[in-house]
Amino acid sequence: MKTFDYVIKDEIGIHARPAGNLAKKCKEFASVITIAKGEKEAGATKLMAVMGLGVKCGDTITVKAEGEDEDAAIEAVKEFLEANL
């Protein structure tokens, strides 16, 4: 399993569109990818659940990936977050 923390920089936090695009991106991988904020955790491919985490600007999220392509998955998510959130 691979994991990393990321601090959200987008003003409105994880909002609908990037959450949707993130879900799309994560579906490309076989690994199970999750996003957690504090106690709450959501599957990264689930747009509404990710939005439901209520991640705001300045919040730290923990991204986890587990599966055969976890290295590639984690890199892709990292790149996506840096470019969009």
Can you give the binding site for other proteins, defined by CB under 8 A? 9, 12-13, 15-17, 20, 23-24, 43, 45-49, 51-52, 54, 56
Greatest Cα pair distance, the chain, in angstroms, is: 34
Q: Which is nearer to other proteins, 43 or 67 (CB)?
A: 43
H helix or E strand, kind and range, residue 52: helix 47-52
Of the residues 9, 15, 27, 78, only one is catalytic, namely 15
CA distances from 20 to 1, 16, 27 (A): 24, 6, 11
Shortest spacing between CB 17 and other proteins, in angstroms: 5
Residue 15 is a catalytic residue: yes
